[in-house]
């Protein structure tokens, strides 16, 4: 039995992804991008400040890194709490020693429960990005539009009330979106998100929202916690990625972004923090590097695009 002629017809069939969310393009076909000071690689450090409720919620899905053993899961609960009580302050000291500015993706509950931590982040001149309400605040297309709109609004309102700062950026839990998320983020006045990982430069959705890619493969959670590499191996991977992007920038006459996602309860451990600090100091001394917050990178790119 042969298929009908209409079987392969699809109104959204086109170059790249089959949707209307954004216009697809290869990175090497775009107009050249330059960073301040003629740097070739913008280093985007994003630290996840997360609150994992001791009782996870599986709807719409359980967030990666959430509680896994029967309730109450004190072992994983306190391990994650360690990041907000201890590990993140080591990271803040490392950022200060390297003289770099970063972004913190913050659950609203973290901002409410740890005001001294937020004060320290702000005092260091770092950016605060919205990161849902807590790690039960996941999004996918099974969530109704009204519930998703309420979740985004609740996270933004609580974060602004707790920090005094209106976030410009958004990072979804597990980088997960519904078909409506980009429009809802734009509706709430956000300038950019970090959920789509398919590039090494920012790009625009059709609605004007900008995406700043935050690689999963280069995150400490993926390399250290999941793949079980050492902190030193992770740092060497970051050096290799920086060197490659710097050379590629010269070859293609256009800048690149190196994302570095960090998790305080992972990289803030006393046997790992030196690898991070050494890497930051080393890269900050490179003439090709521009360490910048997400909003600074997005604004620089938008001014050229």
Chain centroid to CA 156: 16
CATH code of the domain in which 128 resides:
3.20.20.370
16 in a domain, yes or no?
A: no
**Statement: residue 1 has pLDDT above 70:** no
Domain that holds residue 183: 32-302
* Mean pLDDT score, 250-274: 98
15 in a domain, yes or no?
A: no
**27 token code pair:** 């990175």
Average pLDDT of the chain to the nearest whole number: 96
**Statement: residue 292 has pLDDT above 80:** yes
Give me the number of domains the chain comprises.
Answer: 1
289 in a domain, yes or no?
A: yes
21 in a domain, yes or no?
A: no
pLDDT score recorded for residue 43:
99
**Statement: residue 261 has pLDDT above 70:** yes
Q: Give the residue with greater pLDDT, 9 vs 171.
A: 171
């Amino acid at each position: 039995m042969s298929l009908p002629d209409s079987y392969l017809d699809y109104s959204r069939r086109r170059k790249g992804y089959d949707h209307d969310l954004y216009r697809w393009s290869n990175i090497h076909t775009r107009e050249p991008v330059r960073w301040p000071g003629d740097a070739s690689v913008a280093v985007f450090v994003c630290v996840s400040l997360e609150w994992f409720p001791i009782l996870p919620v599986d709807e719409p899905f359980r967030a990666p890194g959430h509680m896994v053993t029967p309730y109450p899961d004190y072992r994983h609960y306190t391990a994650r709490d360690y990041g907000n009580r201890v590990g993140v302050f080591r990271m803040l000291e490392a950022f200060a020693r390297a003289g770099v500015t970063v972004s913190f993706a913050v659950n609203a509950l973290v901002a409410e429960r740890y005001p001294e931590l937020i004060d320290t982040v702000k005092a260091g001149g770092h950016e605060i990005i919205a990161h849902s309400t807590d790690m039960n605040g996941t999004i996918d297309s099974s969530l109704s539009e009204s519930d998703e709109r309420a979740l985004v609004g609740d996270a933004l309102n609580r974060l602004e009330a707790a920090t005094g700062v209106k976030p410009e950026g958004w990072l979804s839990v597990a980088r997960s979106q519904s078909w409506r998320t980009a429009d809802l983020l734009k509706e709430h006045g956000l300038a950019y998100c970090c959920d789509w990982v398919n590039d090494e430069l920012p790009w625009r959705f059709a609605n004007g929202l900008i995406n700043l890619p935050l690689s999963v493969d280069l995150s400490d959670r993926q390399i250290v916690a999941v793949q079980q590499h050492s902190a030193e191996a992770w740092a060497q991977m970051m050096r290799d990625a920086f060197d490659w992007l710097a050379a590629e920038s010269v070859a293609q006459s256009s800048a690149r972004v190196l994302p570095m996602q960090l998790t305080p309860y992972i990289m803030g451990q006393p046997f790992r923090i030196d690898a991070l600090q050494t890497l930051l100091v080393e890269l900050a001394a490179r003439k090709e590097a521009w360490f910048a917050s997400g909003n600074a990178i997005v604004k620089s790119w938008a001014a050229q695009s």
